[in-house]
Structure 1
Amino acid sequence: MSYTFKYTVMLYLIISIATLLTGCNKIGDEDPKITSGKNIRDAKRPIGASAREILSSSLFESIEVELQYMKGFEPTPELVDNIKLFLEELINKPGGIKVFLSSIEPLKKATYTLQDIREIEDTHRNAYNAGKKLGVYILFLDGYSSEDNNNSTTFALVHRNSSVAMFAKRIRERSDRIGHPPRSLLENTVARHELGHLMGLVNVGSGMQHTHEDPNHAGHCDSRDCLMFWAVESGSIFNLVQEGRIPTLDVNCRKDLKANGGI
């Protein structure tokens, strides 16, 4: 299974604005027995399997987030600090939170399949669980998702328990121009949304304290103002541009995280 953050251009808005969407695609889970030369078994579990490990200090007292990018597609400088601040508000890690950058050579592929993404991660990822430290990996790609079509294009996806893939080329195309949000704003919104899935939202590893999962969009909040809502609609895009505001987690999502070991 993977959760994707998508950007759909609606026909009646094609001249003026576009609509930022987030949806879910189901992809068969990976065989957990598959390994490579590195000890990556703990990083090959299903989405949500590390929710409590990320949130609480019972197993891991610190966390290391690796932002690995293909050269030429590095994240905005604001992302490093903002991810750290976002996690500090939600997770219980007395040993601290570290976010660092690493780079790899671009593959210059037009599109990337899920298998492509997993092979890149298995070859290049550095942040793995070690002792009391938990590793999270966010990969910035130089191409598009192979799942894109004329109606829907993908910004990012989560595909393992501690793995996020960001389609940086698509994010750059859909930002920093009239009618679209600044790149740092879009990038931070997408990254936070996907990290929310890794922390078990919604009902994907962090149990609901009150029912708030959108019945039509599994894994997402039913509150239209929440970071974990399935779609940030066109009006919300204008609000983001004008106010410079990243959507926040609503009270129900925060209660779920706290009940699963968060703060």
Structure 2
Amino acid sequence: MNKFKSFLVACILVFTISCSKNSSDSDNSDTSVNKSANLLATGDSARDILSNDNFDTLVIEIAYVTGFKPTESAITQFTDYLKEHTFKEEIELVYTELSSPSEDELTLQEIADLETKNRTVFNTGSSLGIYIYFSDAPAEGDDLEDGLVTLGSVYRNTSMIIHEVTVRELATLSSSINEADVETTTLNHEFGHLFGLVDLGTDMVNDHQSESENEDGQLVGDNHCNQMGCLMRAELQFGSSTGKSLQTNSKATYEDGIKSGCVLSGTTVLNLLQQNTAKGENTVDLDAECLLDIRANGGRN
């Protein structure tokens, strides 16, 4: 009888352990997140961002290093810009404060590694997740004295870096613009590439892509707009006095093996803002050609 009781207890114990393991495995699978849809190339989610075909909500994680949180004014103007050009009525902001990585400069590979470590928002259900990192470190290869600075970059379909420390430094160079102006222009320009502009996932209705020389001296499309005054006209340039070889080398150093959809220079943004300020305008808008492209790919305007 005692042997039977011992056998029965052993069976119950084995059954309980087995059920516990199955329950644990099930819980892990339920809470796991498929991140692959957020690891695509710049512009690959353009229509998903612009239209409500597959996602009707944007959840934007604003990850910032302590002391480098973006201004409320810039974020308000940024979300207004998104609502103006997409059909997303629901835009949720998730603020994530992070400690400094304690780096003097950052490459895109290092930025991507930080995203892997810190990102918490991904596509789930009808919500499309976006990650924007506001850094306390400048881009690798920056030289403020020579105008060789990078304000931001997009490097995946839902990933963006804003070098907030450089944004603030640039804003001090002109009495006619402020920190929020530079933040807003940088955010809106880079997100324009996530819209798929120019020819980065959203086809052009009419050809309006500008060209610049590549490392072989050939004129090629540079994924920016050739229309005067357009937000997306901000072609890649690292300062007029530096020359093509330094421009190419600086970009290669910063990208560090990760292809960027756009590396936005401080010189470009400063020029755009100063031109608009001279005309009495505070913001830089998309031109008619970019608006045509957005509408053709499911956007609002």
- Into which bin does the TM-score normalised by the smaller protein fall? 0.7 to 0.9
Structure 1 stretch displaced more, 127-136 or 217-226: 217-226
Q: Structure 1 254/238 Cα, relative in aligned 2: closer, same or farther at 3 Å?
A: same
How many residues are paired up?
226
The structural deviation recorded for 1:241 is: 4.5
Query: Counterpart of 1:110 in structure 2: which amino acid?
Result: D
Greater relative CO, 1 or 2 (CA 8 Å, sep 6+): 1
- What do residues 8-55 of structure 1 show as CA deviations (whole Å, max 9, x unaligned)? xxxxxxxxxxxxxxxxxxxxxxxxxxxxx8532111101110101101
Query: Counterpart of 2:222 in structure 1: which amino acid?
Result: A
Greater fraction helix: 2
CA RMSD of aligned residues (A): 1.9
Q: Structure 1 40/147 Cα, relative in aligned 2: closer, same or farther at 3 Å?
A: farther
- Provide the C-alpha distance between the structure 2 equivalents of 1:199 and 1:256, rounded to a whole number of angstroms: 9
Q: Structure 1 206/235 Cα, relative in aligned 2: closer, same or farther at 3 Å?
A: closer
Which of structures 1 and 2 has the bigger CA Rg? 2
The equivalent residue for 1:68 is: 63
The structural deviation recorded for 1:239 is: 3.7
- What do residues 108-152 of structure 1 show as CA deviations (whole Å, max 9, x unaligned)? 211011111011111111221000000111100110111425452
Q: Which runs of 4+ in 1 moved over 3 A?
A: 176-180, 231-237, 239-244
- Provide the C-alpha distance between the structure 2 equivalents of 1:136 and 1:223, rounded to a whole number of angstroms: 28
User: Unpaired runs of 5+ in structure 2?
Assistant: 1-31, 213-220, 236-267
Structure 1 stretch displaced more, 210-219 or 184-193: 210-219
Contact 1:67 1:137 in 2 (8 A): yes
User: Unpaired runs of 5+ in structure 1?
Assistant: 1-36
Contact 1:182 1:241 in 2 (8 A): no
**Partner secondary structure for residue 169 of structure 1:** helix
Q: Structure 1 206/190 Cα, relative in aligned 2: closer, same or farther at 3 Å?
A: same
- Provide the C-alpha distance between the structure 1 equivalents of 2:178 and 2:147, rounded to a whole number of angstroms: 23
Q: Structure 1 59/81 Cα, relative in aligned 2: closer, same or farther at 3 Å?
A: same
The equivalent residue for 2:241 is: none
1:211 aligns with 2:207: yes
- Provide the C-alpha distance between the structure 2 equivalents of 1:234 and 1:46, rounded to a whole number of angstroms: 28
Greater fraction strand: 1
The equivalent residue for 2:225 is: 221
TM-score, length-scaled by structure 1: 0.80
Counterparts of 1:57-96 in structure 2 under 5 Å? 57-94=52-89, 96=90
